């Protein structure tokens, strides 16, 4: 009989538990699915039970408009936003700027984008604002960042200005109070 050597199995970085947590952070904070659902809504589509897109209505705009609107919304709906730490007042200001830009673009480019008059513009603004608002509120007071605290390394640097002693130049400095 041959002897079989039993060596302890070494974990590669991709198999380590910490990497699994990091993968969960990336997956759970990734808003790409929200952008995909926004695009489907603008195209008049929904996902069926198997996850395939199905046409359920008329598109709210043409492909150029959908690309532009999703691109604008993507500036707010991003992983950087989710993992940020915003005060509610900042969120409100950013949402007002986003809505203002979105509404102006819809007014100026509605013909180029093939947007019909009436309720379609309101629906476009609503779905884009709600997508952005939901992501922004995840960053309210560090929401997702606080949730993941302890599972990620958060490095903050502070600089402390301490005098290490008097030098020749400290006597020449008029702002040095210890002269």
Domain hosting residue 98, numbered range: 17-171
3-class secondary structure, 115: coil
42 occurs within a structural domain: yes
- pLDDT band, residue 118 (cuts 50/70/90): confident
Range 115-137 average pLDDT = 87
Helix (H) or strand (E) holding 54: strand 53-55
The domain total for the chain is 1
Q: Can you give the pLDDT at residue 168?
A: 64
Range 122-131 average pLDDT = 92
81 occurs within a structural domain: yes
Which two structure tokens, joined as six digits, stand for 55? 């046409």
179 occurs within a structural domain: no
Query: pLDDT tens across 22-48, in order?
Result: 556 656 666 778 889 899 999 999 989
9 occurs within a structural domain: no
HSE, CB side, 13 Å, CA atoms: give it for residue 69. 38
DSSP code at position 162: -
Q: Is the pLDDT of residue 4 over 90?
A: no
Which two structure tokens, joined as six digits, stand for 73? 């919304």
5 occurs within a structural domain: no
Q: Is the pLDDT of residue 74 over 70?
A: yes
By CB atoms closer than 10 A (0-12, 13-18, 19+), residue 49 is exposed
HSE, CB side, 13 Å, CA atoms: give it for residue 121. 17
């Amino acid at each position: 009989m041959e002897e079989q050597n039993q060596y302890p199995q070494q974990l590669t970085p991709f198999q380590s538990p910490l990497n699994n947590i990091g993968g969960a952070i990336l997956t759970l904070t990734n808003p790409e699915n929200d952008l995909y659902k926004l695009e489907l809504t603008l195209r008049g589509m929904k996902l069926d039970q198997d996850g395939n897109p199905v046409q359920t209505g008329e598109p709210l705009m043409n492909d150029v408009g959908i690309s532009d609107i999703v691109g604008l919304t993507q500036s707010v709906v991003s992983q950087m936003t989710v993992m940020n730490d915003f005060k509610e007042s900042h969120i409100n200001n950013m949402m007002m700027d986003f809505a203002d830009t979105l509404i102006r673009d819809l007014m100026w480019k509605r013909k180029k984008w093939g947007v019909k008059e009436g309720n379609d513009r309101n629906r476009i603004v609503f779905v884009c604002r709600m997508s952005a608002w939901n992501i922004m509120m995840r960053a309210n007071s560090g929401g997702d960042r606080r949730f993941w605290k302890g599972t990620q390394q958060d490095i903050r640097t502070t600089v402390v200005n301490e005098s290490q002693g008097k030098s020749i130049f400290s006597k020449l400095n008029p702002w040095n109070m210890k002269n």
